[in-house]
Structure 1
Amino acid sequence: MEQTKPVGYFQVANAFGLYDMHGNVFEWCEDDYHKSYEKAPTKGNAWLSSHKNATKILRGGSWSGDPKFCRCAYRGDYDPDLRDYNVGLRMVRVVPRILS
């Protein structure tokens, strides 16, 4: 493929219900980097640390990189000031649950 694809190119969602997840760009995560998943939150909230200069997680992978990085299980720790043509983010809107 060796190029970005338009939104909606991939017609099947992944196991998380997300489309177009892999192959376009690495995606920033809100979570700070931790060496393991030990004591990770289980409710879906971001895992932030108390360190002021914590590195952030990039997931996914880009068509311009090694294929082994092009999967959601890949996570790398990077300085949040990193800017590159193959790094982006995914905007997510959470619809509030209405309580009756």
Structure 2
Amino acid sequence: MSDTTDPLDQLPDAVAAAAFRRLVRHLRHRHDAQNIDLMGLSGFCRNCLADWIRDAGYDGDKAQARALIHGMPMEEWKARYQTEATPEQLAKMETSLALNRG
């Protein structure tokens, strides 16, 4: 949802795109920042970014969008970097996601 009074909407697209690319590259570098932890803290993760670029008009399918954000196919990223989520991480994620709906 866009709010035309939000100064963020006045940000030039090139600036916003550069910041987005920097964020994605930062997340590609920080493999230690697990998606489950990102979800628990902020209510979004790399997979959400992939969904959001599709919502914004990216022509690729879900797998292509995730590979774009992760810097490799999702299954490869999971095999290399994803750890098993703990019950605590899952609970924190659920609490955080509830805030997204509120």
Q: Is the strand fraction higher in 1 or 2?
A: 1
TM-score by length of 2: 0.22
Q: Is the helix fraction higher in 1 or 2?
A: 2
